Amino acid sequence: MKLYFDYSTMQRWVGNPTGIPRTEFCLAMVMRELYPAIEFVVVDDELGCFHLLKGIPSECVVGEAVSFAEGDVLFSAGAGWAFACYHEQVRLAKSRGARVYRVFYDLIPALYPYFYEQGTDFGDYFGAWSKEAFSMCEGAFAISECAKNDMVSLFDLDADQAARIRVIRLGEDFSGMGAEVLQTNRFEGSGKFLLSVGTLEVRKNQACLLNAYRLLAKQHADHLPTLILAGRKGWLDGEIDFQVKNDRVLSRFVRVIKDASDYELQWLYENCEFSLFPALYEGWGLPVAESLKAGRPCISSNTSSMLEIAPGLTVFASPYSVEEWVGAIGELLFEVGKLETLTEKVRSQYVPTAWAVTASAMLNLILAPHKVIQNQNDLCSEDIKQKEFW
């Protein structure tokens, strides 16, 4: 039996990984520690079929084509929809007896096509692609209950099929690939600020925060901290940058940062008063978890997976209702003791998930018939949680 880990998405990625590539990278590193016999593979439309990949992460060399055999496992946490040949190659692996496991992040392109530049064309393709991917899976991992529920309803699954989906929680202990030598920080000494991290795009809904600040500035102009929006420009962002520069109120209070380094982001999380995440819909909502992990409360939308991250520690507001954001921000800023109490609660109660825990839960399921890893508790021991994988 061989366990093949599909590293195709990271293999094509340049620079410090974020989003799906980051998850693929983290799982690859941890699974390699937990299960040294793991083999990494890569596919794209030029290669045409899965090939072995040696030397990850920094000295990748593509080797010979993989010949799948009965009982092998093909695991993927990548963006396979980018490759036209993908499903065909997975089908081929299955026909030779391989079992397939895949991580499903979300079905947002199918549910909200207008969040993406390619609209319903991409939404329809992505929905159909995901459904077919699921139909070939022995088991599937969803990154939230919400993502699982969306799969059940969009793929129209019965209870037995739904039982093939296991919800796992993504790890949070990624601290970069260690390549950043110059750890400079341009923001030290900027005074009090609130933080919102995420691509500037319609889905992340920063426009709601601009409108909330327009209302807040009327009531609290002298006591309103800066709002820092950290994220690169994405699809349909409502020209956030232009609005901020040309609105006489917002230009005083809002700062847009499109090129923050991981190091700076970490500093921003640790030093903000609290963070804001008004996304319309998420598969998970990493910036919520990152904020809590940094010991800072977060006001997030009351939709989708954001409700699952830390319900007792997060303040919720509807992403469509600007006044709910004005209310929630105002409460934390101006009601004496509120922010201190909540910050203390976050610091004492929030427990970040380690990638080792995520990965071992997945390996246990994938390798279940072979019982390679006997006791999950062993894997979750402090030793492994603390282990420096990066």
Query: Which residues lie near another protein (CB under 8 A)?
Result: 111-114, 119-120, 123, 202, 207, 211, 214-215, 236, 238-239, 242-243, 245-248, 303, 318, 320-324
Question: Tokens for 100?
Answer: 């397939």
Q: Least distance from C-beta 283 to another protein, angstroms?
A: 17
CA-CA distances (angstroms) from residue 390 to 167, 173, 247?
Answer: 25, 10, 43
**Residue 324 beta carbon to another protein: minimum distance, rounded to whole angstroms:** 8
CB of 134 to another protein, least distance (A): 20
Q: Which is nearer to another protein, 246 or 381 (CB)?
A: 246
Kindly state the smallest distance separating residue 319's Cβ from another protein, in Å.
Answer: 9
Q: Give me the least distance between CB of 303 and another protein, in Å please.
A: 8
**CB closer to another protein, 321 vs 353:** 321
Report the residue number, 67 or 251, with the smaller CB distance to another protein: 251
DSSP 8-state code for residue 193 = E
Minimum Å gap between C-beta 322 and another protein is: 5
Q: Which is nearer to another protein, 87 or 214 (CB)?
A: 214
Reading the block at residue 263, the tokens are 């190091």
Residue 86 and residue 82: Cα distance in Å, rounded? 8
**CB of 320 or CB of 368, closer to another protein:** 320
- Cβ atoms 115, 89 nearer than 8 A: no
Using the minimum distance from each CB to another protein, give the nearer residue, 172 or 324.
Answer: 324
Q: Nearer Cβ to another protein, position 91 or 245?
A: 245
Tokens of 4: 């093949």
Task: Cite the DSSP H helix spans in the chain.
Answer: 8-11, 19-34, 86-95, 108-111, 119-135, 145-154, 159-162, 206-220, 240-246, 250-253, 262-271, 286-293, 322-334, 338-349, 355-366, 376-379, 382-386
Give Cβ neighbours of residue 61 (< 8 Å, ≥ 6 apart): 53, 54, 55
Sheet strands (E) in 12-116 = 39-42, 51-54, 61-65, 73-76, 99-104
Q: How far is the CB of 302 from another protein (least distance, A)?
A: 9
Residue of 130, 134, 142 whose CA lies nearest to 158? 134
